[in-house]
Structure 1
Amino acid sequence: MRELLPQVGEIQEIKAHFSWLLEDEKDIRLNEQLGGGALYDVGCYCMHAITQIIGYKPKRIFMTSPQEKGVDETSHIIMYDENNTLASFTCSMRMPFENYYLVYGTKGILKVEHSFRPDLSPDGKGIVTLLDQNENILEQHHYYDEPYVKQIEYMEKCISQEASSDAMLQSSLEMAKYIEFAYRSRQKEVVAVCDSSIERSKKVAKQYQIPFYTDNINAILENEQIEAVVIVTSTSSHYEIITKAIDTNKAIFVEKPLTIELETSKKILAHANEKNAFVQVGFMR
């Protein structure tokens, strides 16, 4: 796969999928206390292919799941890197068995079928296909593999010091970080409110059980634990607040209009693009 990857040209998008049907409702994968969930179980394969095999390094990770509480039985992950290149995958314990990943480039497509469990494919092989811009097959390779056997063999080599586990350790730590970011994005909550009137701020915080309230916007923007801000101030103050939020690496949701002047809006968007910031204009309240 890695030998063929350069032939797709500049990567424009990456997709992956790993799903299977869970029949035992008492399975530990449905137990939140025992590390259950689709992302932990099969989504990690997709994350590994995208970040460790292809080499994509996400800067922003968003996760959605139909299940609001308990383990994620199905999850959809969307990621953006520093160039805003999109990578996404679906992982599920409630869909028919399927596993693959795709890389779309400026010159073609690389498709890897039965990528995570080639041993369970009809012929026990994975399929790597390189297609041109018109989906014509340029190359296709069938590979027999037993991934779990290879894991054990590599572990034996590490124990006997025939191989180093350092690279694998760093890869595992990076993977754990990305998966943790994904789960954190699913569990977002309102942790602070700011209003020019401290009394209004206090009232809203009490009404909606928000733990922190203030009349100082800098106290919000300088808090590293706050990852995103929703801006519903007067339009005249948007430029100043959005610019500060961009500079403090916050994801930004702002009500319409962005500003009342086209040139000011262009400045905001240019600044957001320069800092690789996420800015969404208009949202449902």
Structure 2
Amino acid sequence: MSQKVRWGILSTANIGRKLVIPAIQRANNTEVVAMASRGEQVYEAAKELQIPKTYTSYEELLLDPEIDAVYIPLPNHLHKEWVLKAAASKKHILVEKPAGLTAAEVKEMQKACADNGVIIMEAFMYRFHQQHEAVQKWIDEGKIGDVQMMRASFSFQMRDPENNIRMKPEFGGGAMYDVGCYTINSFRYFLGEPTSVVAEAVFNENGVDLTAHGILQFSSNVKGVFDTSFTMSGRNEYEIIGTEGRIHVPYAYRPDAYPEGGSIHLYTDEGQETQQIDHDQYRAQAEHISKCILDGTTPIYSLENTYLNMKVIDAVYESMRKGVRVTI
């Protein structure tokens, strides 16, 4: 393999065109060499992004020997199918979150990738922003005392829901899969693995969760309180509360979408402290997985971590639908 990972893109999805593909192109150890889509739109998208090769089927792209890795931003219900096919084609993989619709699907992906010697990572880009490392440093330094609770919210007001793929249950739609997964992931980043969850949701007539909220139980009686929604104003934040203070991260998951960017805020009886932390999380994500591919190492955010995240999301959905506390 060359000193740069050669990437192919499966689909012309907006998240890829607007955010992830340009970030891969900004990275210092990557190049985007091909794009595939089942339609004529691939030509316009590839021209717009200056991608040299185009395919009108995903299968054709996977057969290209000049492609080392693929990015999969397909609808949620197609992630498992194309991860398995990419693995069988010996292509390394960056797959959009949620990698699967259940923990069992992620286990299938793990086996396929291991059997084929393929490196895979779920695209939780927020984990590569340095503001979270700074939050952990404050916690480790005892700035807020002993952690007692964490709150996390990710919501937005969906426009034109009748035509939005995230409102279709057969495509893996729902607020929890789409943005609520970030709240669960960030709890586990700071608090470890939860032991149980109780959750409620507002479902539409098709069974898609429009809004969800709940409480995760962690060891030492620490709790994680989350909410997520397609019908609330935009928020993507978390707050960690301790015995001596609290830390607030107002743009935890998409700091790139706000003029203020990344920042963390500490509040204690002694006053307030703020750190401004600007970082290109999408580029950092692309460079990390590409370095892992070049070095043959496991990503810091491994698929085993993805599996544990999906176990919690499975439990959240079970609790929401049954109205009971679920052990994880």
Name structure 1 gaps, 5 residues minimum. 190-226, 229-249, 252-285
Aligned to 1:57: 193
Task: Name the structure, 1 or 2, with higher relative contact order (CA <8 Å, separation 6+).
Answer: 2
Aligned partner letter, 2:316: A
Q: How far 1:3 sits from its partner (Å)?
A: 0.4
Instruction: Please give the per-residue CA displacement for 1:90-114, whole angstroms capped at 9, x wherever unaligned.
Output: 1111111111100110111011111
1:16 and 2:142 equivalent?
A: no
**1:46 partner letter:** T
User: What SS class does the counterpart of residue 8 from structure 1 fall into?
Assistant: coil
Matched, 1:34 2:171: yes
Q: 1:168 aligns with which of 274, 298, 302?
A: 302
Q: Aligned to 2:181, which of 44, 54, 73?
A: 44
Structure 1 residue 180 and structure 2 residue 180: aligned? no
User: What letter is aligned with 1:90?
Assistant: D
Q: Shift in Å at residue 143 of structure 1?
A: 1.3
1:166 positional shift: 6.7
**Partner AA of 1:92 in structure 2:** S
Aligned to 2:238: 101
Deviations 1:49-98 (A, max 9, x none): 1112x133211111211226511111102111232222111111111111
Partner of 2:254: 117
- Pairwise CA distance, 1:131: 1.2
CA distance in 2, matches of 1:163, 1:3: 26
Report deviation, 1:19: 0.9
State the partner residue of 2:265: 129
Identity of paired residues, percent? Answer: 29
Distance apart, 1:182 and its partner CA: 0.4
Separation in structure 2 between the aligned mates of residue 127 and residue 79 of structure 1, nearest angstrom: 26
68, 74, 83: which one pairs with 2:211?
74
The residue type equivalent to 1:173 in the other structure is Y
Query: Following TM superposition, by how much is the alpha carbon of 1:145 offset from its aligned partner in structure 2, in angstroms?
Result: 2.4
Distance 2:298 2:175 in 1: 30
Partner AA of 1:158 in structure 2: C
Give the number of the structure whose alpha-carbon radius of gyration is greater. 1
Residue 146 (structure 1) shift: 2.8
Rounded to whole Å, the distance in 2 between the matches of 1:167 and 1:143 is 21
- RMSD over aligned CA atoms reads 2.2
Kept after mapping to 1: 8 A contact 2:175/2:230: yes
Unaligned ranges ≥5, structure 2: 1-134
Distance 1:162 1:112 in 2: 34
Task: Give distance in 2, aligned partners of 1:146 and 1:45.
Answer: 18
Q: Note if contact 2:204-2:210 (Cα within 8 Å) is conserved in structure 1.
A: no
Report SS of the residue matched to 1:179: helix
Contact 1:118 1:146 in 2 (8 A): no
Separation in structure 1 between the aligned mates of residue 245 and residue 284 of structure 2, nearest angstrom: 31
CA distance in 1, matches of 2:257, 2:218: 32
Report the residue type matching 2:295 in the other structure: Q
Letter of the aligned partner of 1:128 in structure 2? I
Aligned residues: 189
Partners of 1:146 and 1:64 in 2: CA distance: 35
For residues 109-140 of structure 1, give each alpha carbon's deviation from its aligned partner in whole angstroms, at most 9, with x where no partner exists: 011111100001123x1110111147x20x21
CA contact (8 A) 1:126 1:142 kept: yes
Tell me the equivalent position of 1:153: 287
Conservation of the 8 A alpha-carbon contact between 1:57 and 1:81: yes
Match of 1:144 among 278, 281, 290: 278
TM-score normalised by length of structure 2: 0.54
Q: Deviations over 1:168-203 (max 9, x none)?
A: 2221111011001100111228xxxxxxxxxxxxxx
Q: How much does 1:155 deviate?
A: 2.1
Find the aligned partners of 1:31 and 1:146 in 2 and give their Cα distance. 32
